[in-house]
Structure 1
Amino acid sequence: MPHFRTLVPAATVIALGGVLALAGCAPLAGSDAATEDAADGAAAVVDVAEQNTVSSQRLSAATAATAALAHCAADDLGSVSVAVVDRQGELQAFVRGDNAAQHTVEASRQKAYTAAAFGADTSDLVERADENGLHRLPGTLFMPGGVTVTVGDASIAGIGVGGAPSGVDDQSCAAAGLAAIADEIAG
């Protein structure tokens, strides 16, 4: 049987935009040295990848959303919407209270995103937004009613409430959603 040589070394490492991958297929059969070199190269790539991998934490968002809505309903503020978004602003959970107006849907999502993106409660960001013109950032809403969900120093999500008679009430309901998942976050 003829013996063929590969043109690409078995364990060539290629860096593309910071992502490492092995190039070349399997080493030639019967070549113990090539097999060992490929295994060493693969192990090196795995080590580098593990050192340069970022993990993200997520929460079970439904608990936060329903707890925030329940808090508003208990305070006779049931005409609100509650949104929970992840760090990137993707909607994870949403509940709309009875008689909540249409504008509360987007307001709750924007407050949640603003809290998650800036890693701070929106009530704490109002003055900063006024000073720096942050109001112009698309998809954000710098009004009370959004709370950040953090693990350690990292913001992992945001809870936003819109539709209560005041931003203070929205903020209180969002904080109740955060309190409902505090044990999950601390765990």
Structure 2
Amino acid sequence: MQQISKRARVLTGGAALVALGAGAFGAVSANAAPPAAVPAAAVKADAKNKNTTTSTHLTIDAATKAAEAVLDAAAKENQRVSVAVVDRNGNTIVTLRGDGAGPQS
């Protein structure tokens, strides 16, 4: 049987340590504490104008308003950005590309 060179053994051991470290880092990251809960009613309810709805999903109107608010804030900071609003599953609800924003933004 052929002997493995010392250099190959060192490289193999180093690669194994890197893989082990990456796995440990991933396990620690996966067990991180969830973010603090966001209040369910961020908008003040107004029964007179009938803007009270019970939903567990973000509406298109609310997502559009949020995206436009971000574009306005970015414009005040002289930043050119694109905004994507997603639901809790990561599905895109609204995408807006600001004036002058490049395709990479």
Confirm or deny a common fold (TM above 0.5). no
Q: Which has the higher strand share?
A: 1
Q: TM-score, normalised by structure 1?
A: 0.25
| Structure having greater relative contact order (Cα 8 Å, sep ≥ 6) | 1
